[in-house]
């Protein structure tokens, strides 16, 4: 059996990663050998954003200490984990999609050398508009996020960049097509 491939979606906050992943999940809906990993996060379930498995910091630490995460990292005061089940899915020949962290990419690539980083990019004026519209950050925090987004680069031989500056349906269709192609490879 063919070993599957890990698709590591990343990009700046506000780029639309969750939206594009959700569009692709609905579009594929079992019609291709592609599965979508959920994240375990030390954030309440009703905090908004992606659907995730909420854990207390203590439970996250317990799971992390027992090796239950294939990938885990800390960012913006939260802990994030991807469960070890993805290793079973990859061994079964599935393409596995995860919502990753820009800062954790080197560690993820070390563990999964054949991963495909999919960088979601957005023009800075559009990114600013989206961050303002969602209303979660102060003006200073938005400027900090924009500066980080402008400086962010990904160097990886398998890197794919998807532009999500237009309507989410367009970016979602591009991600769906990419996932179909990777699953058929």
Q: Is 11 annotated as a binding residue?
A: yes
- pTM given for the model: 0.89
Torsion angle of alpha carbons 119, 54, 60, 142, nearest 10°? 50
Residues 6+ apart with CB under 8 A from 181: none
Q: Pairing state of beta strands 116-121 and 160-163?
A: parallel
Residue 142 has pLDDT above 60, yes or no: yes
In tens, the pLDDT along 10-26 reads 998 888 999 999 999 99
Residue 14 annotated as lining a ligand binding site: yes
Q: Could you tell me if 36 and 153 are in contact, meaning their C-beta atoms sit under 8 angstroms apart?
A: no
Which tens digits make up the pLDDT trace of 27-57? 999 889 999 999 999 977 665 566 678 899 9
- Report the candidate in 34, 60, 55 with the shortest Cα–Cα distance to residue 175: 34
What does the radius of gyration of the chain's CA atoms come to, in whole angstroms? Answer: 16
User: What per-residue confidence (pLDDT) applies to 48?
Assistant: 58
- Domains annotated for the chain, with CATH where assigned, are 6-37+93-184 (3.40.50.300)
Is 123 annotated as contributing to ligand binding?
A: no
Tell me if 163 is assigned to a ligand binding site.
no
**46 marked as part of a ligand binding site:** no
Tell whether 81 is in a known binding site. no
């Amino acid at each position: 059996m063919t070993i599957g491939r890990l698709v590591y979606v990343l990009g700046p906050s506000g780029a639309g990663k969750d939206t594009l992943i959700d569009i692709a999940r609905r579009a594929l809906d079992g019609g291709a050998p592609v599965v979508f990993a959920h994240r375990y996060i030390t954030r309440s379930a009703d905090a908004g954003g992606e659907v995730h498995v909420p854990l207390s910091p203590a439970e996250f630490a317990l799971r992390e200490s027992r090796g239950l995460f294939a990938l885990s990292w800390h960012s913006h005061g939260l802990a994030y984990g991807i469960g070890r089940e993805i290793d079973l899915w990859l061994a079964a020949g599935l393409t596995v999609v995860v919502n990753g962290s820009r800062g954790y990419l080197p560690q993820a690539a070390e563990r999964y050398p054949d991963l495909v980083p999919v960088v979601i990019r957005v023009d800075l004026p559009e990114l600013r508009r989206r961050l303002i519209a969602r209303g979660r950050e102060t003006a200073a925090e938005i400027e900090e996020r924009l500066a980080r987004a402008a400086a962010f680069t990904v160097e990886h031989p398998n890197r794919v960049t998807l532009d999500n500056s237009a309507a989410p349906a367009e970016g979602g269709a591009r991600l769906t097509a990419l996932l179909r192609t990777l699953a058929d490879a």
